[in-house]
Amino acid sequence: MTMQPVGGRGALLTMTREELWARGTDPEALNLEEALALVREGAALAGLTLEHPLELEAYPQRDGLLLFVRSLAPRRVWYPFPELEGLLAAARDLGGLCAQAEAVWQGDRRWLTLPEEAQGARRLLAGLGLPQEGPPPQEAGRLRLCGRALAVLFDDSRERLE
């Protein structure tokens, strides 16, 4: 089994017929659950992160299987912040556009993420420099920054968040 990235949002999984037989299936009989299990295994082996939902295209071959995987999740841009205060200040600057933002953290790393098509919000954050490639690892914490959650973030102490 090999899996390699294709573009920024997809991957190609290839397997021989023998590898599929060892898993109790063959290219023509592969079902969706088996295909998803192969994608998860291949992505883990290749160190790839594929955001769900996914689109799968399977091409059975005489010698094995080609399985194309593409993420259908909307593209997001990621702005890194070394400090929580900077992230919160940027979210506050977004005003009503903060409904499109999400705060993401893992350990001492923090990001403010926006949909790629959120041009108005991205213009407001242009002073932060270019967004970073993302996303961070899937096990990161996430909080949608809108309405009451944003008010709580601004009113509560940093210790309550960490």
Residue 15 is predicted with a pLDDT of 96
Q: Is the pTM of this model over 0.85?
A: no
Q: 57-61: long-range contacts at Cβ-Cβ below 8 A with a sequence spacing of 24 or more?
A: 58/27, 58/30, 60/26, 60/27, 60/28, 60/30, 61/27
Which parts of the chain have pLDDT scores under 70?
Answer: 129-130, 133-162
52 and 80 in a single domain? The answer is no
Task: Supply the pLDDT for residue 52.
Answer: 77
**What integer pLDDT is reported at residue 137 of this predicted model?**
54
Q: Domain range for residue 125?
A: 76-161
Domain count, the chain: 2
pLDDT for 152 equals 38
**13 and 90, same domain (yes or no):** no
Confirm if 28 and 21 have CB atoms less than 8 A apart: no
Determine the pLDDT at residue 90. Answer: 83
Predicted local confidence at residue 156, as pLDDT: 36
pLDDT at 134: 60
Which helix H or strand E contains 60, and what residues bound it?
strand 54-60
In this structure, the answer to whether residues 80 and 61 fall within a common structural domain is no
If asked whether residues 26 and 66 sit together in one domain, one would say yes
61 and 83, same domain (yes or no): no
Helix (H, G, I), strand (E, B) or coil at 39: helix
Q: How far is residue 33's CA from residue 19's CA, in Å, rounded to a whole number?
A: 17
